[in-house]
Structure 1
Amino acid sequence: MTRSFSNLPLTGVKVVDFGQYIAGPAVAMLLGDLGATVVHIDPPAGAMWDSPANATLNRNKVIVNLDLKSDDGLEKALALCAEADIVIENFRPGKLAKLGIDFAAMRQDRPELITLSIPGFASNDEQRRELRAFESIVSATSGVFTDMGLNRVLMGLNPSFSPLPLSSAYASQIAASSVVLALQSRQVTGLGDQIEVPLAAAVMEGLCYNSIKINDMPARYLTQREIEIERRRIEGLPMNVSYEDLQELLDPFFRSYMCKDGRMFYVVCPSHKHHARRCLEVLNLYD
């Protein structure tokens, strides 16, 4: 009999996932895709979010149902954490610690442990940290529905609501990258890390380019959409550009293209690695 072993990069890494809804489970899913062994902990009645998406978010995971409010459930959860390299949660700041899963205390006992918290708002955000940070609340608070779209401004669609879980999508990618970097650092230092990636901070990181205002920006750097918005404001014209006319104002990396089969394909490609490389080459910094 010939035995074969996975050569995925995170093979042998153990993860405990307390996450619910999207962001926490998504990070653990990505780590599982990279070879990590993931134990996902649900309440006794099952996932808090009753959605078909759980079939994807919890793939490659062992699912354990525990009541963290009971002594037995808490004891079993702590036993799983004691064997883990990474522990993930995405509740409001301090909520899991009140149940007895205290990341700070766990890391004091095991400095090599990596803990990841993905709250809606940062633990030091005294004004918003206690809000129930559903996607719509995070997006509304962060200006996603109002301030982050030149297309919306030109078409007069403000506010413009989107059902896309943008904050969780950005947060899960940033958090997964942070955890992997912490694992790499631990190989050198032997120490883990305590990481926090708030949803609101992540969505601002991902979409703030739509809202950045730079004083005295040279006209050659303005996009056609920005020029058209300014022209209409100066001339007192309404923001009523049709979707069809808007296509002529879009940048090459942010527009829809008609495919041979008659369907549209939307390209979002603002940060391709070749763009950064060419910039560094021009500045003689690439080498």
Structure 2
Amino acid sequence: MTRVTSQGPLTGVRVIELAGIGPGPFAAMMLADLGADVVRVDRVGGGGFGAFPGDLLNRNRRSVALDLKHPDGRDLVRSLVAGADALVEGFRPGVAERLGLGPQECFAANPRLVYGRMTGWGQDGPLARTAGHDIDYLALTGALHGVGRAGERPVPPMNLLGDFGGGGMMLALGVVAALYAVRGGAPGQVVDAAIVDGVSVLATQVHALRGLGLWQDPRGVNLLDGGAPFYDTYECADGRYVAVGALEPQFYAELVRLTGFPLDGDEAPDRDDPANWPALRTAWARLFRTRTRDEWADLLSGTDACVSPVLDWAEAPRHPHLAARDTFVTPEGVTQPAPAPRFSATPTAVRRPPPRPGEHTDEVLAEAGVDETRIAALRAAGTVG
């Protein structure tokens, strides 16, 4: 029988996280959710990064507060690095080097270290040292161009596609891959995770379809971008929405059968001819407005019609399917997404709530061999908090 633990597949891996915002903390959360012991290095005093009490992106890790502008603070980070497997940082290119915490200094302390770097533009290139945000990275890669209704302006897809999908998730994957290589005998190395690179990879299928002539450059006119009437959202009688994803002919046929489409009983036009899509969309919109969202859900849920109610943030955790799978958990009364993916032999869990900046300073420094007298002196000097 397979031995089951409750710590996750990265149990035994130590990661140092230099506090940042957005994709860096997301990557660190993913590693921590998978069982890694992630130590977040926050600012002394708790200002700036890490100053959002209860930020769920900071869950499952410990926090030390260090002054990285002070030589002793930087020395402490290098001491932590010496006993770690990986480090992740999200500074602009060159900042870690100016702090004396770049790859060269960290590899001197630990040649087997995986040094993960998270930026929007990457470590090199003409824009590398300029500011940017998710929307800028999406714009440059072409991804933002593809999100929105036909004839209307592009719509930012929150920061899920860039910061977290193309950024933090790619960094977490890169760190895990590099750790695997180190355990196979490879040296430590830098993982350069750039959001522009990651988002471009996510769009590989779109580029393939364009090359085959199966994807048009105007947004909102293609099979998967809201152009097809059988892959879109529709308003219901109560002003809420359903999502229709009946791409395959057999699923579309099931949708037609169960709903009685079209409403007037006349024969519906051929769905495979894009010239018919505007008329089909109008007919489907008319039909879906005849019932409430939940009435449609009652009729179509559990069938192959591929229709789901569009739930809001509060409704999602209560949906019977997500509830049955414990997709959301409520440790200490705080509802949040459960760690993913799932592992049969090394299950993951939310083990710790988001820490207060510096909450574990004494504990972590003691593990690194710093004695109580020195910790007290460093605290008195304001180097640790």
Match of 1:199 among 195, 199, 202: 195
Deviation at residue 95 of structure 1 after TM alignment: 1.0
Residues 50-99 of structure 1, C-alpha deviation per residue, up to 9 Å, x if partnerless?
77586211111111111111122112112111111100001111111111
Largest Rg, 1 or 2 = 2
Sort the Cα spacing of 1:259 and 1:137 in 2 relative to 1 into closer, same or farther, 3 A.
same
Q: Is 2:164 the counterpart of 1:169?
A: yes
Deviation at residue 47 of structure 1 after TM alignment: 5.7
Q: Distance in 1 between matches of 2:113 and 2:154?
A: 43
Aligned residues: 240
Task: For 1:10-89, list aligned pairs within 5 A.
Answer: 10-46=10-46, 48-49=48-49, 55-89=55-89
Contact 1:78 1:101 (C-alpha < 8 Å) held by counterparts: yes
Contact 1:148 1:211 (C-alpha < 8 Å) held by counterparts: no
Sort the Cα spacing of 1:225 and 1:110 in 2 relative to 1 into closer, same or farther, 3 A.
same
Q: Distance in 1 between matches of 2:128 and 2:214?
A: 39
Q: Which protein, 1 or 2, shows the higher relative CO under an 8 Å CA cutoff with sep ≥ 6? A: 2
Letter in 2 for 1:71: P
Partner of 2:285: none
Aligned-partner SS, 1:189: coil
Aligned-partner SS, 1:93: coil
Deviation at residue 100 of structure 1 after TM alignment: 0.9
Q: Distance in 2 between matches of 1:134 and 1:88?
A: 19
Partner of 1:110: 110
Letter in 1 for 2:136: I
Partner of 2:287: none
TM-score by length of 1: 0.70
Contact 1:21 1:48 (C-alpha < 8 Å) held by counterparts: no
Q: Distance in 2 between matches of 1:53 and 1:135?
A: 23
Aligned-partner SS, 1:197: strand
Deviation at residue 17 of structure 1 after TM alignment: 0.2
Aligned-partner SS, 2:55: helix
Letter in 1 for 2:141: S
Aligned-partner SS, 1:101: coil
Sort the Cα spacing of 1:27 and 1:37 in 2 relative to 1 into closer, same or farther, 3 A.
same
Deviation at residue 250 of structure 1 after TM alignment: 7.4
Structure 1 segments unaligned to the other structure (5+ residues): 232-241, 267-287
Partner of 1:134: 133
Residues 13-62 of structure 1, C-alpha deviation per residue, up to 9 Å, x if partnerless?
11100141111111111111111111101122426357758621111111
Q: Distance in 2 between matches of 1:45 and 1:192?
A: 33
Q: Distance in 2 between matches of 1:218 and 1:75?
A: 56
Task: For 1:259-274, list aligned pairs within 5 A.
Answer: 259-260=297-298, 263-264=309-310
Moved more, 45-54 or 30-39: 45-54
TM-score by length of 2: 0.54
Q: Distance in 2 between matches of 1:48 and 1:197?
A: 23
Aligned alpha-carbon RMSD (Å): 3.7
Q: Distance in 1 between matches of 2:54 and 2:95?
A: 22
Q: Distance in 2 between matches of 1:62 and 1:192?
A: 24
Q: Distance in 2 between matches of 1:204 and 1:215?
A: 15
Sort the Cα spacing of 1:116 and 1:47 in 2 relative to 1 into closer, same or farther, 3 A.
farther
